[in-house]
Amino acid sequence: STTRPALDELLSVVLPGDTVCVWRLDRLGRNLPHLIELVTDLKSRGVGFASVTEQIDTTAAGGNTLLLSAEG
């Protein structure tokens, strides 16, 4: 199933300054392009992103660099 009502609801209520935190990256995106799209959208809305297992935090100094390198 490609419908994800809980994710849709989350994306509709997050506000600038919030941070979306997941246990693992695969809990947010179905594949790498989808994950990059979601994190890019969050960033454009002023929302941070963190993944506990992969120790990624876009609100920290090096967090955006890691995600940008995945895009290119």
Q: Give the model confidence (pLDDT) of 40-61 as tens digits.
A: 999 999 999 999 998 888 887 7
Q: Are 56 and 67 in contact (CB under 8 A)?
A: yes
The DSSP line for 13-31 is H--TT-EEEESSGGGT-SS
pLDDT (tens digit, 9 = 90+) per residue, 23-37?
998 888 888 888 889
Q: How confident is the model at residue 11 (pLDDT cuts 50, 70, 90)?
A: very high
Report field, pTM of the whole predicted structure over 0.85? no
Model confidence at 62, in pLDDT bands (50, 70, 90)?
Answer: low
Write out the two tokens for 4: 């994800």
